[in-house]
Structure 1
Amino acid sequence: MSDTTLTAAESTQAHGVKLTDAAAIKVKNLLEQEGRDDLRLRVAVQPGGCSGLIYQLYFDERYLEGDETVDFDGVEVIIDNMSVPYLDGASIDFKDTISEQGFTIDNPNAAGSCACGDSFH
């Protein structure tokens, strides 16, 4: 039986999204607080917001048909196949500074975003 664990470089190729170390640590901490080991981070793009598309990040226990999944050092990130093209090359980070707190998504596919940064096109 071969080892199917992917390196970070290989894993980002499965759905094209990268999870930074800071974001992975924050997700692990949140999962520990939940006290569950059956949850993974789902990232999706949905219609909405003032620019047309909004990001959704939430914990999910389900696998849906067509999901792309990558493990980042124990943090599983799932993206549905409809969202993959919008998120290819994106990087999810976690900021905890005076001016910013929370998860941020740096997406090279976003042509523009709204003033609040919650939606893009």
Structure 2
Amino acid sequence: MAQVVELTEAASFQVKEMMRHNEEEGAFLRVAVKGGGCSGLTYGMGFEKEHGPEDDVLEQFGLQILVAKEDAPILNGTVVDYKQSLMGGGFTIENPNAIASCGCGTSFRTAKKAGTPENC
């Protein structure tokens, strides 16, 4: 069975490097959805020391990943990757549930959840 959120090996390596650099070893990586952006929803990623009863805990490449149960249907099948180029590197998020996104690339909406659009 597929994970709700899948981190590629490259993304996992980059997250571990960020954890080491920010002295966050042993923390959880939270992948979340928030209201806002041009299309209504935006992605969020950050580190947390603990998880709660409303969190699903996933493990990939030695990382513990948190996804709130309310975000799971929106994120189901999402792949987080890290790509390096001559201009630097960055995370990319491929969400099969997103039916529209805005030009900035950080905002989206799904067929079932439009979110709360804001001006970009």
Task: Work out whether the TM-score is over 0.5.
Answer: yes
> What SS class does the counterpart of residue 95 from structure 1 fall into?
strand
Aligned equivalent of 1:106: 94
Structure 1 residue 67 displacement after superposition: 0.4
Q: Name the one with the larger helix percent.
A: 1
> What SS class does the counterpart of residue 47 from structure 2 fall into?
strand
For the residues of structure 1 that align with 2:101 and 2:53, how far apart are their CA atoms?
30
Aligned equivalent of 1:72: 60
Structure 1 residue 36 displacement after superposition: 3.3
Structure 1 residue 52 displacement after superposition: 0.4
Asked if 1:119 is matched to 2:103, the reply is no
* Aligned counterparts, 1:24-43, within 5 A: 24-43=12-31
Q: Name the one with the larger strand percent.
A: 2
Q: Which runs of 5+ in 2 are unaligned?
A: 110-120
Q: Which runs of 5+ in 1 are unaligned?
A: 1-9
Question: Relative contact order, CA 8 A, sep 6+: which one is greater?
Answer: 2
Root-mean-square deviation (CA, aligned residues, Å) is 1.5
Structure 1 window deviating more from structure 2 (82-91 vs 25-34): it is: 25-34
Corresponding residue pairs, total: 109
Residues 4-48 of structure 1, C-alpha deviations (whole Å, 9 max, x = no match): xxxxxx5x43xx111100000001111111223331110000110
TM-score normalized by the length of structure 2: 0.84
Asked if 1:92 is matched to 2:99, the reply is no
